[in-house]
Structure 1
């Protein structure tokens, strides 16, 4: 007899869940082969698992090992299958399956994306503007299933049929609204192919452009497309080219080539559509070029690059507005420059630097400017009017996330912004800056979720050097604060990326089982301003790990969690965090989840052929220099594994990952198996069809999430029933 999903979930939630310890499988024991990694200054290290690296992803022995690990993961996780299925059912049950995005208007059309029930991928579409057509009416029509008058740009479900992985990275409509260019990836390696469609006839043009990034810009002639070509080996963005539709791709003209491989590259249009811009940036410097969109022949440098001077710029109202850290503006300031500017000497201060306020973003309108800022570890939006007056958009919770939304039309008096918290689903508002009227355009629907059952807090934990680290918390109101609750602590802590407290629907499944969920805003992010980032990179990287450990100990001391019931999670550079913390404080954690982890820091940063290596010397250091080599070696997770009892671990990766290559976690797990003196399980799952972001499709990734959630809950001794 088949059961409906709700009934099936109800049955599963009352079924006793066997412990992982019931698994009888033996983990794989992979072969060791001698290999020495050397540096230009003579230092060397042995790496017996280096052979697991295969750039082609075809080596039979390597693939056999990954498959063996997957088979063992299957065996270990099999007793938890009922819990995985229940979690998956809960998570998917909180998704409104036929939902759509908030439409925005541009050049006479309203653009949006929508999902259909049961399908993994979005449909990107638009509707013509007209009387009675607005964002709210279109959402209402979509909710009714009324798609009359809709023009489908891309049905990604159809495009993804028969593919293990598929993603549309970006798409752009030509200025005359008649042509569509999009970038697609069928592997997960973030190497895209550009294709073209005539929107009047629906015909797909025969030419395609391969080996590019997902970054496209049309010129005003509606035939010329600018794109960014990647280096085929390092995958770095290296060249801007232009393609004229209907001509051979081999004839595409080189517009700009970046020879410094520490810089990333991107292209775009200015706010007023007057210019096409090419931006390049490293960790510590920026440079922008611009050319008229009507005749993009020669590109002019706005201001030459200079180390330790970063800037981004936009053009509107007959001037450039530039966000920069020049002249000691650590937290950035806004300056202006004339339309023909070519040097910093032409810059004039506008919004002064404030050591307590980090300027993160801005948007230019005809009568005002919106500025996204950070202060006290929280985001806020400031409106600067043309008459010199200003106002802040209000927030009602102690921990939240707020930022500028899609504002496609600069002549509007309505400012769109997003708001969310750990208890409030993502909400899009419009604020009329003239009248003060505010209206809600959409709140993320979450079936079955009642925010009144949960509480969010912001606490400050003292790190060992006296610095106070902000922490965002959420838990059910009935969870006792007596030191008995399980804790799930998440962080990232690198690249100046801030992890803000936004609503996370899958986390509700943890909260409903009594788990306290915490986001540690540790150094290496930018939650507290640029200095917070600077104090968590290069030779200050240890602060990132110390902060995470000290937050855990502080939360336990405050009674939020039991010391033996703490879980930790991080991914990518956050996986490095997990690896370092596991080596340095294994006894503080019962279980860890480490997704696509960057754990072989020194070997990777010594190899300039690996994607992203040279771009990141100013983040981690250049190990060809002995000072940085020794410091990186002191915390590199792979190099610091030792004979001790490690927490239970769930490690995930993707075979086609271009950001953190699969062999890093593979080697790390193999070495952990050699030296771990404890009995807690280490599960290693490789997605053989995916890259850095995991499986494509909105439902597939929730299967992965349900699997490691089940592993964590079992290790923490959390009852299966909410």
Structure 2
């Protein structure tokens, strides 16, 4: 095995609450990302990773070609209507990015090209396009682009019919844009230069420079972020002020180019809400006196008086209400029962409810492109671990489904060859942890298969059973895949989330360890062939788990991992700090300091054996700074007592989301899978 980089130790003392920590690798932090010494170290790590995995290059290429070959290269989206036109996009040939079109009908005639993202992405190693926002009259398209992965979007404006760009250029935006109904100005959110949180709402008039833009709202509380949207009736610009536990709402008239911000719902601690406005009515998804949320309605003029709120969808202890869509005569809401999604159509006139039916027992689905209040059907994007992404429409009156589109898998694929299961396993405190598994039937043997266990467990974020073109490469080689819906997600309701955050965070790690052991005991995988993976907050999950139960895992891949939790949460200049206090706690309080210290992966590294590890990051990651995994890897090398591989790959051109492009992103997946398969081959 190649010799790993020798990372120098340069002690840096960190003192808080009378407790001293010494960080020998603090020097790896360089906010400018230009330090020759730091860049040289990252390049050395990349060279080491490449050298160690050089013998897998043929396997990586094989895996990559498999993943690409499953994609149908010529692919079009289902058109949706906005205003007088239909909009859709398509991928052509080997193109990494789509072309966006506008038509007078839904027949996809390619009447007018709005944007070719491949042309815009040319010359950039990374490219992300936020949703294109078209003015109400269809004249202009506002285009927000991120070309290095730091989630700072530059906005340009295109005259669609004339096919030329205006001189208007806006920088450092969140990518969210909302047009004024006149079509001569739009609103956007600017990011804070230091915290990189969205905090200012501006109005931009076409033909002016950004320094002439009018500041309409500025968030001074660094815990809050700011978002904007247009109401479904197009009468209002809605400004959301939110933390993970608190929210507020303000309004601007969408018709008035000189409108001022009006407070609709004052910011309120421990109240989360999202709303839709239709005429003089407001429909509100709220957790006020409803831990798992409910939907209420009231008039806009009395909305601040909760005594005027009338219940439309009631609170349930056994169901988490997640989202809704309003139509003239119906309300469609999505909820989660025993970890599985449900969609209900409710008549606003009779109150009658109708549950929509889907084919799979475990699936992922979300409301999509329902822009018309008068629509007679609701559109839902649907997929499962054995069903490629599909677009369905259901009759609101009867629930009758229509399949508008289902993506195809090129080559040999039969969904019946695979089995997906949704089970529950016991944790040490008696709680039942949901687990979703998928495997290839003819490759499965009880207690013999390698198994890859995945997890996240933070922010109340739920990961449903979706289809993966790349995952098939593991399943077809006999690897079982399992996702553990540990506490910290909201899979079983808001209480499931609350039991995995703040001073309950250890439950997240316990659940993952206990689920791993239970899955193996049930025979879904061999005890000596257990793999694990997680990214971002899921990287924290894996990092903490490996300190506490490293013997359970043969190899792990950890992506953009949030592993230096204590130091980050003590530094208010970083994006993952003030806005994260509601998730992890504020370590300026000794109670939270001590608790975070007890599990922080970087601080709790021990002199013990660790599994084989592949760690990835991006130099321009604005969410989890590159130096967290860089320091973690260096300290692991210092402390670990085994001879297992420890590889670190820092992409020098991207951010938190990794590589972009529909095919190019599979390079990273192929590297990860080759790492697993190589370790498994050497272990046998």
Give the alignment's TM-score, normalised by structure 1: 0.92
Secondary structure at the counterpart of residue 615 of structure 1: helix
Residue of structure 2 in register with 1:233 after alignment: 194
CA distance in 2, matches of 1:44, 1:218: 52
* 1:318, distance to aligned residue in structure 2 (A): 3.0
Of residues 413-422 and 262-271 in structure 1, the stretch that sits farther from structure 2 once superposed is 413-422
Please give the residue correspondences for 1:593-608 in structure 2 after superposition, counting only pairs within 5 Å. Answer: 593-608=557-572
Residue of structure 1 in register with 2:130 after alignment: 169
CA distance in 1, matches of 2:199, 2:368: 30
Aligned counterpart for 1:425 among listed residues 388, 400, 403: 388
* 1:445, distance to aligned residue in structure 2 (A): 1.2
Secondary structure at the counterpart of residue 80 of structure 1: helix
CA distance in 1, matches of 2:303, 2:482: 47
1:621 partnered with 2:585: yes
Residue of structure 2 in register with 1:551 after alignment: 515
Residue of structure 2 in register with 1:416 after alignment: 379
Of residues 442-451 and 253-262 in structure 1, the stretch that sits farther from structure 2 once superposed is 442-451
Please give the residue correspondences for 1:397-476 in structure 2 after superposition, counting only pairs within 5 Å. Answer: 397-448=360-411, 449-476=413-440
* 1:719, distance to aligned residue in structure 2 (A): 11
| CA RMSD after TM alignment | 1.4
* 1:421, distance to aligned residue in structure 2 (A): 1.3
Gap regions ≥5 residues in structure 1: 1-23, 139-147
Secondary structure at the counterpart of residue 700 of structure 1: coil
1:117 partnered with 2:93: yes
- Contact preservation (8 Å) 1:84, 1:706: yes
Secondary structure at the counterpart of residue 71 of structure 1: helix
For residues 425-483 of structure 1, what are the alpha-carbon distances to aligned partners after superposition, in whole Å with 9 as ceiling and x for unaligned? Answer: 11111111224432101112111221011111111110011000111111111234421
For residues 505-534 of structure 1, what are the alpha-carbon distances to aligned partners after superposition, in whole Å with 9 as ceiling and x for unaligned? Answer: 111110000111111111101111111110
Residue of structure 2 in register with 1:82 after alignment: 58
1:59 partnered with 2:35: yes
For residues 593-633 of structure 1, what are the alpha-carbon distances to aligned partners after superposition, in whole Å with 9 as ceiling and x for unaligned? Answer: 10000000000010000113110001001011100000000
Aligned counterpart for 1:373 among listed residues 335, 342, 357: 335
- Contact preservation (8 Å) 1:301, 1:342: no
CA distance in 1, matches of 2:156, 2:488: 38
For residues 324-378 of structure 1, what are the alpha-carbon distances to aligned partners after superposition, in whole Å with 9 as ceiling and x for unaligned? Answer: 0002x00000111212235143322222111111110000011101001101100
Give runs of ≥4 in structure 1 deviating > 3 Å. Answer: none
Residue of structure 1 in register with 2:680 after alignment: 716
CA distance in 1, matches of 2:683, 2:72: 27
Secondary structure at the counterpart of residue 541 of structure 2: helix
Distance 1:149 1:93, change over 3 A: closer
- Contact preservation (8 Å) 2:460, 2:490: yes
Gap regions ≥5 residues in structure 2: none
- Contact preservation (8 Å) 1:236, 1:612: no
1:68 partnered with 2:51: no
Aligned counterpart for 1:186 among listed residues 147, 151, 159: 147
Aligned counterpart for 1:354 among listed residues 303, 316, 330: 316
* 1:403, distance to aligned residue in structure 2 (A): 2.5
Distance 1:436 1:543, change over 3 A: closer
- Contact preservation (8 Å) 1:432, 1:438: yes
* 1:227, distance to aligned residue in structure 2 (A): 0.5
Secondary structure at the counterpart of residue 366 of structure 2: strand
1:631 partnered with 2:592: no
CA distance in 2, matches of 1:215, 1:79: 44
Secondary structure at the counterpart of residue 130 of structure 2: strand
* 1:568, distance to aligned residue in structure 2 (A): 0.4
Residue of structure 2 in register with 1:127 after alignment: 103
CA distance in 1, matches of 2:74, 2:15: 55
CA distance in 2, matches of 1:344, 1:604: 39
For residues 534-586 of structure 1, what are the alpha-carbon distances to aligned partners after superposition, in whole Å with 9 as ceiling and x for unaligned? Answer: 01000010111111111110011001111110000100000001100111110
Residue of structure 2 in register with 1:10 after alignment: none
CA distance in 1, matches of 2:367, 2:126: 31
Secondary structure at the counterpart of residue 266 of structure 2: coil
CA distance in 2, matches of 1:433, 1:234: 44
CA distance in 2, matches of 1:342, 1:487: 51
CA distance in 2, matches of 1:460, 1:611: 35
- Contact preservation (8 Å) 2:443, 2:477: no
Distance 1:97 1:719, change over 3 A: farther
CA distance in 2, matches of 1:57, 1:620: 27
CA distance in 1, matches of 2:62, 2:683: 12
CA distance in 1, matches of 2:470, 2:657: 17
- Contact preservation (8 Å) 1:286, 1:310: yes
For residues 121-153 of structure 1, what are the alpha-carbon distances to aligned partners after superposition, in whole Å with 9 as ceiling and x for unaligned? Answer: 111222112xxxx3xx43xxxxxxxxx543221
Secondary structure at the counterpart of residue 638 of structure 1: coil
CA distance in 2, matches of 1:25, 1:44: 35
- Contact preservation (8 Å) 2:56, 2:674: yes
CA distance in 1, matches of 2:593, 2:573: 18
Secondary structure at the counterpart of residue 326 of structure 1: coil
Aligned counterpart for 2:116 among listed residues 152, 155, 160: 155
CA distance in 1, matches of 2:464, 2:165: 41
Distance 1:586 1:462, change over 3 A: same
- Contact preservation (8 Å) 1:381, 1:404: no
Of residues 631-640 and 293-302 in structure 1, the stretch that sits farther from structure 2 once superposed is 293-302
- Contact preservation (8 Å) 1:567, 1:716: no
Distance 1:356 1:34, change over 3 A: same
Residue of structure 1 in register with 2:81 after alignment: 105
CA distance in 1, matches of 2:65, 2:209: 49
Residue of structure 1 in register with 2:13 after alignment: 36
Residue of structure 2 in register with 1:335 after alignment: 296
Secondary structure at the counterpart of residue 232 of structure 1: coil
**Structure with the largest fraction of strand:** 2
Please give the residue correspondences for 1:517-528 in structure 2 after superposition, counting only pairs within 5 Å. Answer: 517-528=481-492
1:363 partnered with 2:325: yes
Secondary structure at the counterpart of residue 713 of structure 1: helix
CA distance in 1, matches of 2:22, 2:196: 28
* 1:233, distance to aligned residue in structure 2 (A): 1.4
Aligned counterpart for 1:513 among listed residues 477, 483, 500: 477
1:586 partnered with 2:550: yes
For residues 73-99 of structure 1, what are the alpha-carbon distances to aligned partners after superposition, in whole Å with 9 as ceiling and x for unaligned? Answer: 110111011111110011011111121
Secondary structure at the counterpart of residue 252 of structure 2: strand
Give the alignment's TM-score, normalised by structure 2: 0.98
For residues 369-410 of structure 1, what are the alpha-carbon distances to aligned partners after superposition, in whole Å with 9 as ceiling and x for unaligned? Answer: 100110110001000013211100112333222322221212
For residues 280-332 of structure 1, what are the alpha-carbon distances to aligned partners after superposition, in whole Å with 9 as ceiling and x for unaligned? Answer: 110110101112211261222222122111111111253000000002x0000
* 1:706, distance to aligned residue in structure 2 (A): 0.1
Residue of structure 1 in register with 2:670 after alignment: 706
- Contact preservation (8 Å) 1:513, 1:718: no
Secondary structure at the counterpart of residue 207 of structure 1: strand
Of residues 231-240 and 631-640 in structure 1, the stretch that sits farther from structure 2 once superposed is 231-240
1:675 partnered with 2:639: yes
